Structure formats: structure tokens, C-alpha cells
């Protein structure tokens, strides 16, 4: 694992105060720098024009402001943006910005964040899992993905010619569903959540964030104690151990029965509803019998099931079922009183759907 140098966005509120105090400046300067970074979306300390020039200069000598460089971007026909970023050590990640129209005409945006370079879980249907694991992202590398897209939206609005184009959309949700297993990088992810949520940081409601996990039981238990309003989604994909061992290999360590017990405990402790993601793979987990056994497993749990027709990756053998099969699965779950929705798939023409993100070499440019 390669160590990366600390960036300003890697620092907690307390660490920012210590940095500023160390440079001999009063405490309110910490709030100013933080405000410029997370609300002003500054790209450099030099933009922070109400700070003394010598202070800006000394800050820049101490730390770099951000830890990501956009390398390449593609925009899909549904408006989904997929960006390839370079990290300080030259490794790369991808993240996406998805827009959703609203009744008022202003779109709302969801950012899908990466938390690791690659992923150690190795699910066979997932492009990230097939790439292997390289390293955890730092808190700053996670938060910087949000700041990048927020800046991109702001600049787009600034450049718009017409009033209707200027009708600003806003970032309403952040989901930890990009590359990597968020709960395998627990501390960095929680620090990023805190900074995204903090009024001194990005100021996004915790209720508007969702962490998705392949099912790491100790971390689910730890999360239930954090008293956060953040949403939790479990990538289930199968309701019995034999099949789930194949689809989500961490199931061999944390089997379905224990996982669901931890989820029941999570709902009780946190008072929150849990989501289950169930990707449908043709001929593998998509029959009405599978739907029935899923309904039996989840009976009585305060939950919601998100059905995701499989997105294609280079992995052979994981194809989306026919429309009729998907609808039959959905109908059966609903008939058995399981709250469920069929996920709207986004960004498919640019390989930006669930499980399609990976660290491409910049040769596509």
C-alpha cells in the first residue's frame, strides 16, 4: 500500500484549528479557510482573498488543498457524468454524477462516490471487484469527489446563457456506491460523512447519504452505535448461503443468517429502515422461487428492496433477465408484502452503471 501525502481536505475540524494555530493565526481563520474550501469550492488557497497573503502562502507550503485531478470525463445520453480522477500517487478512480428531473423543473443531483482503489471483496459480476484491491482512499480523496462535482455544477450555471439553464439544480444526495467497499475503509468514510454533513463543511443532511455494503457484520454493528441519520444499504443478491457464497464471496465469512440478524439489530438500535440491493442475473437468482425465498428471509424486517437488473461488465455469464422475468420477480415480492422498487438504470451507454466503474488507464482519452 502506498502512502499519500495529507491534503487540507484530509483534516478534521480540530486538525484544521491546530494547523491554523501552528501558523500563529487566530481561530476564526480556521473557519474562513474551511468556508472557502467547502462552500466557496476554492481550487487554491490563493483564491481565498480575504486571508492575508502571507498566511495563504504559508498554508500552501504546509498542505495541498485537494487530492484529486480530473483526467477524463464522459457524459451519457441521460445526462450522467462519469469522471476519471488521478490521485496523488498516480492511481485512478471513477465516480459519477446523476441528474434526476423534478416537478419544479430544476434537476436534483446524486453523486456516486468511490471509497477504495479497486475492491478486496471480488464479486464476480462487478468490474471493480475484478480489478482487485489497491488501496483505501483517504477522507480527503472521498470528499474531493463531491467538491469536484459541486464546482462543475456551479461553473455550468455561471456559464449558462438562458434563465432556464441558470435555474440551478442542486446536489441532493450522496451515495457510497462507487468503487470499493465503504465499510472496509470505515474510519475514512465516517470522517468524510462528518465533513460532508457538518455546517462548517459541505452541509449536506446525513439523511441524504447512503452507505452500501457487501455485508461486513462487525462494521454494521459499529455503525448502528454511531447515532447517525445516514442510510444503510446491503447488497444481498441471494437469500441462501450456497448462492451468495458465489456471488458475494465475503458471505463465506459473514453468512446470510448472521447478516440478517445484524440487520434486525441495526433497525432496532438505529430506528431506521434498511435497504437491500438485489441485482438480478439471468438464470442465476431471478426466478419466482428466488423471490419467495427472499421474501421469507426478510419477513418482518423494516426494509425496502431495490431490484437492479444486472449491468453488463467484462465478466461472462452475468446478464440481465428478460423484462418479463424482472417484472414477475417484482410482482411476487410485492404480493408477499415486501416493499420494493425497480431501480432506474443510469449511465449505461457510458459504462457508469452499478458495478461498471473501474480504474481505467487514461489511454481512453
User: Measured from the CB of residue 359, what is the shortest distance to ligand SF4 in angstroms?
Assistant: 12
User: Measured from the CB of residue 101, what is the shortest distance to ligand SF4 in angstroms?
Assistant: 28
Contact letters for ligand SAH, residues 188-227 (x by CB under 6 A): ------------------------xxx-------------
Q: Which residue in 25, 94, 141, 181 binds ligand SF4 (CB under 6 A)?
A: 181
Q: Which residue in 30, 56, 80, 129 binds ligand SF4 (CB under 6 A)?
A: 129
Size of the site for ligand SAH (CB under 6 A): 17
- 279 sits near ligand SAH (criterion: CB under 6 A): yes
Helix, strand or coil, per DSSP, at residue 99: strand
Annotate 211-233 with DSSP letters as a single string. EEES--HHHHHHHHTS----EEE
User: Measured from the CB of residue 119, what is the shortest distance to ligand SF4 in angstroms?
Assistant: 3
CB 2 within 8 A of CB 30: no
Using CB under 6 A as the binding rule, the residues of this chain from 310 to 329 that contact ligand SF4 are: none
122 binds, among ligand SAH, ligand SF4, none (CB under 5 to 8 A by kind): ligand SF4
Residue 194 designated active-site: no
- 234 sits near ligand SF4 (criterion: CB under 6 A): no
Which of 338, 326, 263 has its CA nearest to residue 296?
338
CA–CA distances in Å: residue 134 to residues 1, 168, 200, 218: 7, 37, 32, 22
User: Measured from the CB of residue 213, what is the shortest distance to ligand SAH in angstroms?
Assistant: 5
Q: Is 239 exposed, middle or buried (0-12, 13-18, 19+ CB in 10 A)?
A: buried
Active-site annotation holder among 25, 94, 141, 332:
94
Contact letters for ligand SAH, residues 128-167 (x by CB under 6 A): ----------------------------------------
CB 318 within 8 A of CB 124: yes
Annotate 133-164 with DSSP letters as a single string. EEEEPPHHHHHHHHHHHHHHHHHHHHH--SHH
Closest CB to ligand SAH among residues 42, 214: 214
Residue 303 designated active-site: no
Helix, strand or coil, per DSSP, at residue 277: strand
**CA–CA separation, 261 and 284 (whole Å):** 25
What is the SS3 string spanning 312-324? CCCCCCCCCCCHH
Which of 123, 78, 33 has its CA nearest to residue 347?
78
Q: Is 159 exposed, middle or buried (0-12, 13-18, 19+ CB in 10 A)?
A: exposed
**CA–CA separation, 99 and 18 (whole Å):** 38
CA–CA distances in Å: residue 318 to residues 113, 347, 361: 24, 18, 24
- 305 sits near ligand SAH (criterion: CB under 6 A): no
Strand-by-strand arrangement of the 92-100 sheet: 68-75, 81-87, 92-100, 108-112, 170-176, 209-213, 231-235, 274-280, 303-309, 340-342
Size of the site for ligand SF4 (CB under 6 A): 12
Q: Which residue in 34, 235, 275, 359 binds ligand SAH (CB under 6 A)?
A: 235
Using CB under 6 A as the binding rule, the residues of this chain from 236 to 295 that contact ligand SF4 are: none
308 binds, among ligand SF4, ligand SAH, none (CB under 5 to 8 A by kind): ligand SAH
**CA–CA separation, 250 and 112 (whole Å):** 23
Closest CB to ligand SAH among residues 25, 277: 277
311 binds, among ligand SAH, ligand SF4, none (CB under 5 to 8 A by kind): ligand SAH
Closest CB to ligand SF4 among residues 128, 208: 128
- 121 sits near ligand SF4 (criterion: CB under 6 A): yes
- 181 sits near ligand SAH (criterion: CB under 6 A): yes
User: Measured from the CB of residue 310, what is the shortest distance to ligand SAH in angstroms?
Assistant: 4
Query: Which listed range, 31-39, 153-161, 260-268, 308-316, lies at the site for ligand SAH (CB under 6 A)?
Result: 308-316
Residues marked active site are found at: 94, 354
Note the residues at the interface with ligand SF4 (CB under 6 A).
119, 121-123, 126, 128-129, 180-181, 214, 235, 355
Amino acid at each position: 500500500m502506498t502512502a499519500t501525502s495529507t491534503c487540507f481536505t484530509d483534516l478534521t475540524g480540530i486538525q484544521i484549528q491546530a494547523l491554523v494555530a501552528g501558523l500563529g493565526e487566530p481561530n476564526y481563520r480556521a473557519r474562513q479557510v474551511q468556508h472557502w474550501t467547502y462552500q466557496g469550492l476554492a481550487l487554491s488557497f490563493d483564491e481565498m482573498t480575504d486571508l492575508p497573503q502571507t498566511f495563504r502562502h504559508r498554508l500552501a507550503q504546509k498542505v495541498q488543498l485537494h487530492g484529486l485531478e480530473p483526467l477524463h470525463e464522459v457524459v451519457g445520453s441521460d445526462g450522467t457524468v462519469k469522471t476519471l480522477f488521478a490521485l496523488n500517487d498516480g492511481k485512478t478512480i471513477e465516480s459519477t454524477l446523476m441528474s434526476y428531473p423534478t416537478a419544479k423543473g430544476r434537476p436534483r443531483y446524486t453523486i456516486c462516490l468511490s471509497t477504495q482503489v479497486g475492491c478486496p471483496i471480488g464479486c464476480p459480476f462487478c468490474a471493480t471487484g475484478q480489478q482487485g484491491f489497491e488501496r483505501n482512499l483517504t477522507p480527503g480523496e472521498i470528499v474531493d469527489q463531491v467538491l469536484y462535482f459541486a464546482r462543475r455544477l456551479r461553473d455550468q450555471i455561471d456559464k449558462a446563457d438562458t434563465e432556464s439553464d441558470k435555474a440551478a439544480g442542486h446536489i441532493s444526495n450522496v451515495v457510497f456506491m462507487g468503487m470499493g467497499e465503504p465499510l472496509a475503509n470505515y474510519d475514512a468514510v465516517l470522517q468524510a460523512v462528518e465533513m460532508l454533513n457538518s455546517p462548517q463543511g459541505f452541509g449536506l443532511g446525513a439523511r441524504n447519504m447512503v452507505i452500501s455494503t457487501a455485508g461486513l457484520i462487525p462494521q454494521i454493528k459499529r455503525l448502528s452505535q454511531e447515532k447517525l441519520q445516514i442510510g444503510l444499504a446491503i447488497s444481498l443478491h441471494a437469500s441462501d448461503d450456497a448462492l451468495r457464497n458465489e456471488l458475494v464471496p465475503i458471505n463465506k465469512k459473514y453468512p446470510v443468517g448472521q447478516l440478517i440478524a445484524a440487520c434486525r439489530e441495526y433497525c432496532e438500535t438505529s430506528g431506521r429502515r434498511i435497504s437491500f440491493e438485489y441485482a438480478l442475473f439471468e438464470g442465476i437468482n431471478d426466478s419466482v422461487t428466488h423471490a419467495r425465498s427472499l421474501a421469507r428471509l426478510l419477513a418482518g424486517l423494516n426494509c425496502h428492496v431495490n431490484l437492479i437488473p444486472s449491468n453488463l461488465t467484462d465478466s461472462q455469464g452475468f446478464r440481465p433477465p428478460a423484462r418479463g422475468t424482472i417484472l414477475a420477480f417484482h410482482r411476487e415480492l410485492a404480493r408477499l408484502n415486501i416493499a420494493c422498487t425497480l431501480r432506474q438504470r443510469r449511465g449505461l451507454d457510458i459504462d457508469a452503471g452499478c458495478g461498471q466503474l473501474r480504474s481505467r488507464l487514461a489511454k481512453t482519452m
